[in-house]
Structure 1
Amino acid sequence: MAAAAMSAPAAAQEPDHIRMGYIADYFGTSVAAIASDQGLWEKHGLEAELKVFTNGPIQVQALNAGSLDFAYIGPGALWLPASGQAKVIAVNALGYTDRVIAQPGIEGIEGLKGKKVGVPEGTSGDMLLRLALEKAGMTMDDIEAVKMDPSTIVTAFASGQIDGAGIWYPFVDVIGQRIEGLQELSSNEDFFPDIAFPSSFIVSDDMAGNADVIRKVNAVIKEATDFRRDNPEQSVKITASFLGVPEGPLMTESKLAKLPSSAELEELTRDGKVDNWFDTLAGLYTTFGKIEKPLPASEFYLGNLYAE
């Protein structure tokens, strides 16, 4: 009996438990949704506890408070890793979902001068608004910026309490269904290729030293992003089911990004192009007065792990 027990196979290794944040829109949720639907967490030795958030900065607060290990952020929140508050582990997508929108009759950025403009502070909507104002020879001082979360912007815009907003799809689509003649004044695409707007996945400082777990999370992210790229309609269906929302707005949002494959992103990382994207955005945050001395991307992007 003893010999038989000695020769029994070893018990399967326990999966690593992680807590990961996501945002309830297509690009903020699809990787987590696909990974759950396709069994990728289990495949790569992980047990994921998924938590929903409304924006990136709140997730970084959760990372720093020790209640989250990994998170998703849009390009507008990259200033937080660039200021040393988290580490980036992977690029998600190069999004064109952000817009500066205005009420009917306001046909240019200049038309927002002196107007009330809703903006979720520290987000990609905030960044695009600042870029669009700068391109028009204006600054935030030329408008009456009103800090709001995205859902409040939808309500305030629909009721005419604000004249414009720096916001993103699917919220733009929701507002457009309520406001006939909605004006889209600016898009991320207006600034490409000089400026790319990568959304990304980040890790807490406490977890940043655990290369083994990060490799497992990266493996899930790579497989899920490639699945999303190769199966766009199925990915929308999976994400809509995960969120319990209609597919239509997510389908619209899903088309508003460039989706490099994981192999392409590995090559872009090795070539230093991903570092250049992050460094350019960090420079913008300095211009906007968000941070004084951003870290170089080589210090906050764990590209060596992603490129393996």
Structure 2
Amino acid sequence: MKNVRRATALISVVAAVVAVGSSLAACGSSGGAGTGSGATKIKIGYTADFSGSAAFAVAQKQGLFAKEGLDPDLKVFTNGPLQIQAFGSGDLDVGYIGPGALWLPQSGKAKVIGINQLGLADHLIARPGKAITSVADLKGKKVAVPQGTSGDMIFQLALKKAGLSPKDVNVVNMDPSTVVTAFSSGSVDAAATWYPLLDTIKKKVPNFVDLASDKNYYPQQTFPNVFVASNSYVDKHSATVKKFLRVVQQANDWIVKHPKEAEQIDAKYLKVPQENLSTATDYVKLLPSSKLVEDSKNGTVETWLDGLSTAFVQMGKVKSPLKAKDYYTADLYEAAAR
């Protein structure tokens, strides 16, 4: 009888352990994005602005990474070129870059795996009271430029249109956030920057002079923001790249339908006041993924990418740029949408 009681007690203990284990497993399976058993780790880079982070903010909010079996390790960077550098060290697998950094894929240092949004946020501005009313007036002036970025690109395009070269002005290479400080304090005469950084400048220098912007060149010149991946990652992990693309395609389509709500979600993700991003969608052209797939198939995307090659050659960023067909993985982007 005593043995029966011991056996019964042992069964009860085992049952309790199993129940606790089941409960813990259930908690684990309902955790954050990509935390489920067997999820694939993927290291993702982004910049702390709407174009650079909104898709990831929405994807996290809606559990899209988990849906595709991905466990994202999201890392913030100040610009695109630093992300491409991180590819080389293995610190990143995929990331986001603006149009100004597209010379790096054109140099063979990364693959463009998908289009994000079309940028309309870059501006070349001057401080008031500096006798600068046109780009031509920048000759001999001190201009803050975050080199290798979309700000640098619009600066170079504007100089060329005005018949000037970088040698005609005093170019000071600065980090994007430092550009804000330098322009606001008056330590430079002009600057190349973009929204939402320009919103911060506007609060301190509301009457700055707007010399040039993306809108002066669009649609003859298109400025795509893109998702990129290291060459080796695309070669070795194409299936994971397609999963990643499905995530950002779904996030993109939601953003297209809910732009203002997307601004709010991204503001919370970046932990900034919502008013900081309240006009973010005014400075990008949002396209549904179905349109981007169509434009990928008919060669429009390649035209956008190839259209920037001349500017990058003139900027001295690349001597012999690759054609888009050699660095844009259109097949992966299109397959991800099926």
Counterparts of 1:57-68 in structure 2 under 5 Å?
Answer: 57-68=81-92
Which residue type is aligned with residue 71 of structure 1? Answer: G
> Which of 198, 214, 234 in structure 1 is aligned with 2:261?
234
Matched, 1:250 2:277: yes
Superposed displacement of residue 239, structure 1 = 0.3
Question: Are 2:322 and 1:298 aligned?
Answer: no
Count of aligned pairs between the two proteins: 298
| C-alpha distance in 1 between matches for 2:214 and 2:125 | 12
- The one-letter amino acid of 1:94's match is L
- Asked if 1:50 corresponds to 2:50, the answer is no
The alignment status of 1:148 with 2:198, answered yes or no, reads: no
Partner of 1:4: none
Aligned partner of 1:114 in structure 2 is 140
After superposition, what is the alpha-carbon deviation per residue over 1:18-47, rounded to whole angstroms, capped at 9, x for unaligned?
000000011111011110001000011111
Instruction: Give the 3-state SS of the residue equivalent to 1:118 in structure 2.
Output: strand
Give the alignment of 1:195-206 within 5 angstroms: 195-206=221-232
Structure 1 residue 219: deviation in Å? 0.2
Tell me how far 1:165 sits from its aligned partner.
0.7
2-structure distance, mates of 1:13, 1:48: 14
TM-score where L is the length of structure 2:
0.86
1:75 aligns to 2:99 (yes or no): yes
Which structure has more relative contact order (CA 8 Å, sep 6+)? It is: 1
RMSD after superposition: 1.3
Deviation sequence 1:49-85 (CA, Å, 0-9, x none)? 0000000000000011111000100000000001000
Residues of 1 paired with 2:84 and 2:216: CA distance? 28
State the alpha-carbon separation in 2 of the partners of residues 203 and 184 from structure 1: 34
8 Å contact 1:104–1:180 — kept in the other structure?
no
Partner of 2:278, secondary structure, is helix
Residues 263 and 280, structure 2, Cα contact 8 Å, conserved in 1: no
> Partners in 2 of 1:180 and 1:208 — Cα distance?
45
Decide which structure has the larger Cα Rg and report it. Answer: 2
Which amino acid in the other structure matches residue 207 of structure 1? Answer: Y
Question: Match for residue 6 of structure 1?
Answer: none
Q: In structure 2, what is the Cα distance between the partners aligned to 1:192 and 1:186?
A: 12
Q: Please tell me whether residue 135 in structure 1 is matched to residue 161 in structure 2.
A: yes
Amino acid at match of 1:47: D
**Does residue 126 in structure 1 map to residue 160 in structure 2?**
no
Deviations 1:245-270 (A, max 9, x none): 01222122221111110000000000
Q: Does the alignment pair 1:216 with 2:240?
A: no
Q: Residue 260 of structure 2 contacts residue 281 of structure 2 at CA under 8 Å; is this kept in 1? A: no
The partner residue of 1:265 within 283, 292, 295 is 292
2:58 paired residue number = 34
* 2:122 corresponding residue in structure 1: 98
**Counterparts of 1:243 and 1:257 in 2: how far apart (Å)?**
18
Provide the residue aligned with 1:3 in structure 2. none
Give the Cα separation in 2 of the matches to 1:270 and 1:29. 26
Instruction: Report the alpha carbon displacement of residue 283 of structure 1 after superposing the two structures with TM.
Output: 2.5
User: Pick from 14, 17, 22: which aligns with 2:38?
Assistant: 14
SS of the residue aligned with 2:73? Answer: strand
Q: Which runs of 5+ in 1 are unaligned?
A: 1-10
Q: Secondary structure at the match of 1:89?
A: strand
In the TM superposition, residue 184 of structure 1 has moved relative to its aligned partner by 1.2
The separation in 2 between residues aligned to 1:180 and 1:45, in whole angstroms, is 47
Runs of 4 or more consecutive aligned structure 1 residues displaced over 4 Å after TM superposition: none
> 2:198 aligns to what?
172
Whole-angstrom CA distance in 2 between matches of 1:287 and 1:177: 34
Deviation at 1:218, TM superposition (A): 0.6
User: Percent of aligned pairs with the same residue?
Assistant: 44
Q: Please state how far the C-alpha of 1:98 moved relative to its aligned partner.
A: 0.3
Query: Could you tell which deviates more after superposition, 203-212 or 55-64?
Result: 203-212
1:284 counterpart letter in structure 2 = A
Q: Is the 8 A contact 2:142 2:169 kept in 1?
A: yes
How far residue 13 of structure 1 moved from its aligned partner, in angstroms, is: 6.6
CA distance in 1, matches of 2:271, 2:199: 17
Match of 2:214 in 1: 188
SS at match of 1:307: helix
Q: Is the 8 A contact 2:124 2:213 kept in 1?
A: yes
Structure 1 position 180, deviation (Å)? 3.0
Q: Hey, what does 1:25 align to over in structure 2?
A: 49
| Partner Cα separation in structure 2 for residue 89 and residue 250 of structure 1 | 26
Q: Indicate which of 306, 309, 326 corresponds to 1:279.
A: 306
